[in-house]
């Protein structure tokens, strides 16, 4: 009989000691283990509270809440998707309609011929920040960019919209045996500096071979690239990973054909951002012009920061 009045045999006492020791070890291991989820739970709870603009993970670094940023990361390629609805409105000058647009014929020498290419141009009188070259789709011409041209000029950019060969006031001009890539090379050379190229729909026939036809120097051929659901994006998929040209992939969410396809192909570009225009069709810059101009202003501003 033990002094306490409790009878213990030797095997039972050993079993109790083993259980107590094991419990202490498990408790201490779980408390100090690097796999403990306590810190992760704290971060998750902190992020769910309104008013927390940023939170501190265990390593002490700050991370911003995704819900408060216009940019989020999408898919395995980590392309940045812009929430267009969260972008600020583009600046609008009260005298925007007074901005003069000049009709200028550009002599583009391709191989053994000179093409007379119609253009509409505007911009600040001195030291434009960038040159923006606007191409057009099958059913459009440079005339459809007039409002955007004026806005670009008011933002400090030189803006050039052209009628491509066989279209608009350049309809009498034909490439002949010259390629679209050769035409674009000659055109940009005539303009004198690598522009930001805005390329919707059919104009992908011109912009994509110019930038991505078996070359890795696209960033030297354009300051940036803004494809708007262009054709032929599948033709140059092997070359996209080589490019370092800043790119804004724009498409209307209702464009289930070229919009969806161009996004899927072009997001392989390493420096691509993606801007889906909600509720817009194929010609998203016509369907939702203000949303398009918001994202255009946002992207161009980011290039000069």
Catalytic one of 144, 163, 255, 265:
255
pLDDT tops 50 at residue 49 = no
pLDDT tops 80 at residue 240 = yes
- pLDDT value of residue 18: 47
Q: Percentage of residues in the chain with pLDDT exceeding 90?
A: 69
Annotated active-site residue 255? The verdict is yes
Q: Between helices 146-154 and 289-303, what is the axis angle to 10°?
A: 40
Q: Is residue 265 part of a domain?
A: yes
pLDDT tops 80 at residue 141 = yes
- Looking at the fold, whether 8 and 131 belong to one and the same domain comes out as no
- Looking at the fold, whether 155 and 37 belong to one and the same domain comes out as no
Annotated active-site residue 282? The verdict is yes
- pLDDT value of residue 203: 99
In the numeric block, which tokens belong to residue 79?
A: 């392309």
Of the two residues 35 and 251, the one the predictor is more confident about is 251
CA-to-CA dists, residue 304 to 14, 90, 192, angstroms: 75, 16, 19
- Looking at the fold, whether 32 and 98 belong to one and the same domain comes out as no
- Looking at the fold, whether 181 and 234 belong to one and the same domain comes out as yes
pLDDT tops 90 at residue 165 = yes
Q: Is residue 62 part of a domain?
A: no
- Looking at the fold, whether 158 and 291 belong to one and the same domain comes out as yes
pLDDT tops 90 at residue 280 = yes
- Looking at the fold, whether 113 and 196 belong to one and the same domain comes out as yes
Q: How far apart are CA 96 and CA 165, in angstroms?
A: 30
pLDDT tops 60 at residue 222 = yes
- Looking at the fold, whether 92 and 45 belong to one and the same domain comes out as no
- Neighbouring CB atoms inside 10 A of 4's CB total 7
- Looking at the fold, whether 224 and 128 belong to one and the same domain comes out as yes
Structural domain that includes position 20: 1-49
pLDDT tops 50 at residue 1 = no
* Chain-centre distance for alpha carbon 53: 24
Lowest mean pLDDT among 10-24, 80-94, 131-145, 169-183: 10-24
> Taking residues 20-42, what's their average pLDDT?
40
- Looking at the fold, whether 32 and 123 belong to one and the same domain comes out as no
**pLDDT tier, 21 (very low <50, low <70, confident <90, very high otherwise):** low
Of the two residues 106 and 125, the one the predictor is more confident about is 106
- pLDDT value of residue 17: 54
- Looking at the fold, whether 40 and 91 belong to one and the same domain comes out as no
Q: How far apart are CA 189 and CA 193, in angstroms?
A: 7
**Whole-number average pLDDT of the chain:** 82
Q: Is residue 287 part of a domain?
A: yes
pLDDT tops 90 at residue 50 = no
- Looking at the fold, whether 9 and 149 belong to one and the same domain comes out as no
Q: What is the pLDDT of residues 58-99, one digit of tens each?
A: 343 333 333 333 554 444 344 699 999 999 999 999 999 999
pLDDT tops 50 at residue 54 = no
pLDDT tops 50 at residue 172 = yes
- Neighbouring CB atoms inside 10 A of 1's CB total 6
Annotated active-site residue 144? The verdict is no
Q: 224-228 and 63-64: which strand pairing? A: unpaired
Lowest mean pLDDT among 123-132, 258-267, 268-277: 123-132
Q: Is residue 143 part of a domain?
A: yes
- Neighbouring CB atoms inside 10 A of 107's CB total 10
- Looking at the fold, whether 149 and 3 belong to one and the same domain comes out as no
Q: How far apart are CA 128 and CA 124, in angstroms?
A: 6
- pLDDT value of residue 72: 46
How many domains is the chain partitioned into structurally? Answer: 2
Catalytic one of 79, 119, 154, 201:
201
């Amino acid at each position: 009989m033990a002094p306490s009045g409790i009878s213990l045999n030797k095997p039972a006492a050993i079993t109790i000691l083993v259980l107590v020791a094991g419990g202490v070890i498990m408790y201490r291991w779980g408390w100090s283990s690097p796999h403990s989820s306590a810190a992760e739970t704290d971060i998750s709870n902190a992020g769910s509270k309104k008013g927390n603009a940023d939170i501190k993970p265990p390593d002490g670094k700050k991370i911003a809440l995704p819900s408060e940023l216009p940019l989020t990361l999408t898919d395995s390629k980590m392309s940045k998707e812009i929430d267009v609805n969260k972008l600020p409105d583009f600046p609008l000058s009260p005298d925007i309609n007074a901005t003069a647009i000049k009709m200028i014929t550009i002599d583009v020498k391709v191989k053994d011929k000179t093409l007379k290419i119609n253009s509409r141009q505007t911009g600040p009188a001195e030291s434009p920040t960038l040159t923006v070259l606007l191409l057009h789709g099958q059913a459009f011409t440079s005339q459809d960019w007039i409002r955007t041209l004026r806005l670009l000029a008011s933002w400090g950019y030189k803006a050039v919209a052209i009628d491509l060969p066989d279209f608009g006031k350049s309809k009498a001009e034909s490439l002949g045996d010259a390629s679209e890539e050769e035409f674009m090379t000659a055109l940009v050379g005539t303009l004198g500096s690598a522009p930001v190229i805005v390329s919707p729909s059919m104009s992908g026939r011109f912009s994509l071979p110019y930038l991505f036809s078996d070359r890795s120097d696209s960033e030297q051929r354009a300051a940036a690239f803004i494809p708007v659901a262009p054709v032929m994006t599948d033709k140059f998929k092997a070359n996209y990973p080589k490019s370092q040209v800043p790119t804004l992939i724009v498409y209307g969410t209702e464009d289930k054909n070229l919009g969806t396809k161009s996004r899927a192909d072009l997001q392989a570009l390493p420096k691509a951002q993606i801007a889906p225009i909600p509720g817009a069709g194929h010609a998203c810059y016509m369907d939702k012009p203000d949303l398009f101009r918001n994202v255009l202003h946002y992207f161009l501003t980011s290039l000069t920061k």
